[in-house]
Every structure is written in C-alpha cells, then in structure tokens.
Amino acid sequence: MKKIATYQYVLWKSMSSLTYYQDVVKTRFRFSFKFYWAFSMMLGILLSISILAGIFPSINSFATNFSSKANQMYPKDLAVTVKNGEITTNVTEPFSIPLPADLQGNLSNQFKYILTIDSKAKTDDFRSLQSLILVTKNSLIFADRDTSLRVIPLSELGEFTLDRANFAAFVGKITPFIKWLPVFFILAVVFIFLILLPVVKLIGHLGLSLILLILAKVMKIHLGFKKIYQIGLHALVLPTLIQLLMVSFGIAVPIPFFDSIVFLLYALVILASFKEANNSPVTQLKKLS
C-alpha cells in the first residue's frame, strides 16, 4: 500500500507541481526510471483492456466460425483454372460473389461484392464493378490504398485449378492456425503496449533530452544530460495523458510531432522554474553565505 501511495503522489506531483522537479533531480535515476515503467505498465494495461474489449469479440468470433463461413462463401459449382497466365471458368461471366453479411456494414458504401471474375474487364472497370477483388483474363486487381490499385499478373500465381473441394481442403489446412488467432492477438496487444511502445518512447526520449540539454545551456541552467533525461521521465506524464484524451474525443491536430512539441514546451516551463529557483532571494543568500 505504501508503494501505491508513493506512486500516486509522484504521479500527481509530476503533473501538477513545477517545484516538485527540484526534488526529482535530487533523487537517484533509478527512482524515476522505475516510476516511468510503473506509469507505462498502468497505461499499457488500460489501453490493452480497452482495445481487447472492443476488438477481441469480433476476432474470436471470426476464428471460431472461420471454417464454416469460409466454406459457405465459396460458390457450389464454381471451378477456376489458371493456365499460361490466363483464367478460365465454368460459369457465365461476369461472375460476382456478394460481400459476406459481416462485412456489409463497413464496406457496402464502396463495394457490393467480395470477388468478381470477368475475362473481358479492364483495370479501368474496377471502380464501376464495386468489387473488392477483380479477376480479369490475365490479372488480379484490388485496391491498394484509397486512390490506387494493385495489379498482379496471374502468371505470378502459377498454374492451378480451384473448385469447392480444393477450397475446402485449403480451409481445413489453415483452420488450426486461425483458431490460435485470438491468442496471438492478445499477445501482440500486450507486447505492443506493455513493452514495445515504452521502449520506443525511452529511445525517442534520448533525442528530446538532447534538445532540452542544449536549451538548458542557453538558459544557463546547470543540469547534465542524465538529469535532463530524468526530468523528462516525469514530465512526459502530462503530455501523454493530454494526447490520450485528444484521441479519445477524436481531436486531431494537423501538426507533425505534436506530442513531442507539447512535451518540449512543458519541459521548458519546468526548466524555467529551475532558473527562477536559482534566482530566488533565498538561493542567492545561500550562495553568498
């Protein structure tokens, strides 16, 4: 309980008190480093829970129902053959497979079909056919980004024949791996928010601390790089929480490195408080005595 109370005190003071940073520079670097990781762990756990609560049910449902839904999606009588870089089918073209019900809400404004096969179609027909994937006589076409298309020659896919039986066999092979998708997703989220992002932030903080060191020299504040870095481990709390609130409320600022700019401004205010403390009457008397 004492450690929790100490953490809460340091967290609050790091956000609310400029004079607290006078005490920070007097403590060991290890104290601030442990505080940073405690803050990162707390934040990482909350973000992980938030993301998992929102996305995990859908991923779990996808993994559980993948085999049955995938097999239902493939048309019963469709047989496709790719040979010499060209496609042939046993159906009347253009042949389209409608979007699954699970995807219609998100994609129905742009697409009506998940796949369209049309040997006579051209790349320019992609938008008008409203299909996620268009297969022409010798190409596979899909949207790479909002405004661009990716075209893959069928010759790069090799020669094969695909029918319902082959498709079901393929689905059967990958289903055991798909069932592990929820576990991989949880591990990925935990790794990203509890390990990767905190480490990346520590590395990025090196460059920001170097900038602050230069500014501190200009302001004639006698702090070394290690102490500047240590101050930053506490100072990043407020800008990080501000950034999270902005993201939560959908507020986007069209300024590159906005979070770093906010951090540097806050850190400059902290450094300015050191200068004021050094110029205070009490400090001047201590220097004279």
Q: Where are the domains of the chain?
A: 2-56+182-288, 79-162
Summarised one tens digit per residue, pLDDT across range 167-199 is 999 999 999 999 999 999 999 999 999 999 999
d(CA 54, CA 121): 40
Between 69-73, 110-114, 142-146, the lowest mean confidence (pLDDT) is in: 142-146
With cut-offs at 50, 70 and 90, classify the pLDDT of residue 109. Answer: low
To 10 degrees, the CA torsion angle through 131, 134, 140, 144? -30
With residue 125 as reference, give the H or E element that holds it.
none
What confidence score (pLDDT) does residue 257 get? 86
Q: What is the mean pLDDT of the chain?
A: 87
CA 65 to chain centre: 26
Residue 283 has a pLDDT of 43
**DSSP letter for each residue of 210-236:** HHHHHHHHHTT----HHHHHHHHHHHT
The pLDDT score that the predictor gives to residue 277 is 58
pLDDT at 284: 39
Measured from the Cβ of residue 52, the count of other Cβ atoms closer than 10 Å reads 16
137-170 burial, b at 16+ Cβ within 10 Å, e below that, comes to bebbbebeeeeeeeeeebeeeeeeeebeeebeee
Mean pLDDT for the stretch of residues 69-75 = 86
How far is the C-alpha of 183 from the C-alpha of 180, rounded, in Å?
5
Whole-number pLDDT of residue 278 = 57
Contact 179, 171 (CB under 8 A): no
Share of the chain above pLDDT 90, in %: 58
pTM: 0.75
H helices of 74-139, where? Answer: 101-107, 126-129
Mean pLDDT across 76-98: 90
Burial class (CB in 10 A: 0-12, 13-18, 19+), 289: exposed
- What pLDDT sits at residue 249? 84
What is the predicted pLDDT for the residue at 98? 87
